[in-house]
C-alpha cells in the first residue's frame, strides 16, 4: 500500500515525529511549522520532537538578471556630472557679466577654477532659485484657482 503525505498528498516514505506517526515529508513539516507557527502536531496535538541535523550547503540555482530595455542607469552619473559642471560654468560667467556691467573689474573672465568665478556663481544660483520658486508658486496658485 502506497503511503501519502497528509500535507502535499504525494507519495511518502517518512513519518511524522509525533505520536500519530502519519506519513509526512520533512520539508512539508518544516513548511507547515513555519506558516502555522505551532509546536504541536495538527492531527494528534502532541508536541513535535525534532532532532536538528546539519544539512549540507545547497548552491542556489543560477539566476539570469535581465535589465529593462531603455534603462541604462550607468551613464546617468556622467550626465549629471556634466550638467552640474556646465551649470556651474554658465552661472559663473553670467555672474561675471553682471558684475562687469555693474563696474566691477573682472581679472580673468574665462577661468572657472578661481574663487572669483565661484563667488559670481552663488548670487546667480540664489536668484534663479528664488525665481523658480516664485514662478512655481504662481503656477500652483493659478492651477488650483486661489485668488
Task: Give tens-digit pLDDT for 96-120.
Answer: 888 889 888 888 888 888 888 888 8
Whether 59 is covered by a domain: the verdict is no
Domain count of the chain? 2
Question: In whole angstroms, what is the distance from residue 69 CA to residue 72 CA?
Answer: 8
Give me the CATH number covering residue 33.
3.30.40.10
Question: In whole angstroms, what is the distance from residue 37 CA to residue 48 CA?
Answer: 12
The reported pTM is: 0.40
Whether 114 is covered by a domain: the verdict is yes
46-51, Cβ contacts within 8 angstroms, sequence gap of 24 or more? 46/18, 46/19, 46/20, 47/18, 48/16, 48/17, 48/18, 49/17, 49/18, 50/17, 51/17
Angle between helices 115-143 and 76-101 (to 10 degrees): 100
Whether 66 is covered by a domain: the verdict is no
Q: 26-44, pLDDT tens digit by residue?
A: 888 888 877 877 778 878 8
Question: In whole angstroms, what is the distance from residue 39 CA to residue 47 CA?
Answer: 6
Let me know whether 130 and 97 are in one domain: yes
Amino acid at each position: 500500500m502506497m503511503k501519502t503525505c497528509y500535507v502535499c498528498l504525494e507519495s511518502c516514505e517518512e513519518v511524522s515525529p509525533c505520536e500519530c506517526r502519519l506519513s509526512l515529508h520533512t520539508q512539508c513539516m518544516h513548511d507547515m511549522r513555519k506558516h502555522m507557527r505551532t509546536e504541536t502536531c495538527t492531527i494528534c496535538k502532541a508536541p513535535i520532537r525534532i532532532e536538528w541535523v546539519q544539512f549540507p550547503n545547497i548552491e542556489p540555482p543560477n539566476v539570469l538578471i535581465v535589465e529593462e530595455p531603455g534603462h541604462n542607469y550607468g551613464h546617468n552619473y556622467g550626465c549629471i556630472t556634466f550638467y552640474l559642471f556646465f551649470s556651474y560654468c554658465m552661472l559663473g560667467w553670467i555672474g561675471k557679466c553682471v558684475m562687469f556691467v555693474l563696474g566691477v573689474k573682472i581679472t580673468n573672465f574665462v577661468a572657472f577654477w578661481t574663487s572669483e568665478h565661484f563667488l559670481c556663481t552663488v548670487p546667480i544660483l540664489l536668484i534663479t532659485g528664488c525665481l523658480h520658486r516664485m514662478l512655481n508658486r504662481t503656477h500652483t496658485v493659478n492651477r488650483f484657482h486661489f485668488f
